[in-house]
Amino acid sequence: MYETIGIWVGAFFTLAIYSFLYKENPIYRLAEHLVVGISLGYTMAITYDITLKPRLIEPLLSGNHWILLVPAVLGILYITRFIPGIAWLSRYPIAFLMGTAMGVSFPLTLKTDVLRQLEAAMQPFYMSGMPWHEIFGNIVMIFGTLAALIYFFFSKPHKGLFFGTGSKIGIWVIMLGFGATFGFTVMGRISLLIGRIQYLLGDWLHLIE
């Protein structure tokens, strides 16, 4: 019974959101506002139920984890942003979080996104016995990377054989990348539509399995 009601509610709001494709209307706006409100409410409930209650409130009430008062007070200081006289206190938890996050993530992010990628780009593009398509792929990757980097080098005018031609090839490489991303984006958007149609035709109308 409750499942059936849930499916009908889901179907109604799916159609309500898609009604925007015809034109803006009050039913669409109602659905949009409900999405925002329910998502926030759900997030708050989940955060309390599986984070605040078992990780902070219950340990504190048990009387054995007084150290948890430190993060609790820091967390409460966030709320002081809403009280103009003491709003400056909210800077402390923000500073703590930013400092910690930077310290922890900076070396690992540098390794992940710079050093490893450089390492991967410094492979020999030809070795004995390597299949031709791999050699071709390596050449495209190396020259494509160099051309794209030349395009983003702004300290010299993009003229002449090296900077002029290089940047022109670079923009083509970048455009090919954008094209691939756009193709994937179209696929992604259609996938989301497919998910909703599967719900409407399957779960709601039972026209498909």
| Interface pick for another protein out of 34, 117, 159, 162 (rule CB under 8 A) | 117
Q: Is 119 a binder of another protein (CB under 8 A)? A: yes
Amino acid at 153: F
Footprint on residues 122-141 left by another protein (CB under 8 A): 141
Cα-trace Rg, the chain: 27
CB atoms within 10 A of CB 78: 14
Residue that the structure tokens 């193709």 belong to:
183
Q: How many angstroms separate the CA atoms of 41 and 11, rounded?
A: 21
- Residue 177 CA: distances (Å) to CA of 71, 119, 125, 136, 184: 44, 21, 21, 18, 11
Burial readout 127-162 (b: 16 or more C-beta within 10 A, e: otherwise) = eeeeeeeeeeebeeeeebeebbebbeeeeeebeeee
> How many residues of this chain bind another protein (CB under 8 A)?
44
- Residue type, position 52, single letter: L
> Which is closer to another protein, CB of 15 or CB of 171?
15
By CB under 8 A, which span of 43-51, 60-68, 76-84, 162-170 interacts with another protein? Answer: 43-51
In whole angstroms, how close is the CB of 184 to another protein at the nearest point?
4
Q: What is the 3-class SS of 98-125, one letter each residue? A: HHHHHHHHHHHHHHHHHHHHHHHHCCCC
Q: Is the Cβ of residue 50 or residue 69 nearer to another protein in the bound state?
A: 50
Q: Which residue lies nearer to another protein by CB, 11 or 141? A: 141
What is the rounded (10 degree) CA torsion for 59, 65, 67, 72? 20
Report 2-21 residues binding another protein (CB under 8 A): 21
Q: Is 25 in the site for another protein (CB under 8 A)?
A: no
Output 50 or 73, the one with its CB closest to another protein.
Answer: 50
111 near another protein, judged by CB under 8 A: yes
**Taking CB under 8 A as the rule, which mask of x and - marks residues 146-175 in contact with another protein?**
------------------------------
Find the binding residues for another protein in span 80-109 (CB under 8 A): 100-101, 104-105, 108-109
Structure tokens at 36: 């925002």
Q: What is the binding site for another protein (CB under 8 A)?
A: 21-22, 39, 42-43, 46-47, 50-51, 54-55, 100-101, 104-105, 108-109, 111-112, 116-117, 119-120, 141, 177, 180-181, 184-188, 190-198, 201, 207-208
